[in-house]
Amino acid sequence: MAEINKIIHQPARLRIMATLSAIEVDAELDFTYLRNKLELTDGNLGAHLEKLQTSRYIRIRKTFVGKKPRTYISMTRTGRRQFEDHIDALKAIIEGKTG
C-alpha cells in the first residue's frame, strides 16, 4: 500500500510536483514560469524547491541566457516515482481502500 509522502503532501510542493509531472520526462521548467503559474514568491518557491532537491525529487540547473541568470527545474526519476506513489496513496484514502 502506497503511503502519504510528507515532503510531497505539503500544498505548494504538491502543486510543484504535479506541474513537473505533467511535462515530458527530463524536460525542464523555468523558475519564473513556475513562480507565476503557482503564484508563489521567489523566496517561498525557492525554499520548497530546495526541500525537493534535498530529497532528490528534482534537479535545479542554474545558467545564464546572455547576462541574465536563469534557473531551470526538472523532476528526477525518483521524484516521478515518489509522486506517483503519493497520488496512489491519496486515491486509496479517498476511495476508502485504506484508513
Q: Which stretches of the chain bind a second copy, using CB under 8 A?
A: 4, 6, 9, 11, 14-15, 18-19, 22, 37-39, 87, 90, 93-94, 96, 98-99
Report CA 17 to chain centroid distance, whole Å.
3
Instruction: Pick the closer one to a second copy by CB: 37 or 61.
Output: 37
**Nearest in space to 38 (alpha carbons), one of 15, 69, 56, 61:** 15
Q: 68 pairs with which residues across the strands?
A: 65
* Least CB distance to a second copy at residue 9 (A): 6
> How far is residue 17's CA from residue 35's CA, in Å, rounded to a whole number?
13
- Residue 64 Cβ vs a second copy, minimum distance, rounded to whole Å: 27
Residue 88 beta carbon to a second copy: minimum distance, rounded to whole angstroms: 11
Of 19 and 74, CB closest to a second copy:
19
Return the C-alpha cell found at 14.
504538491
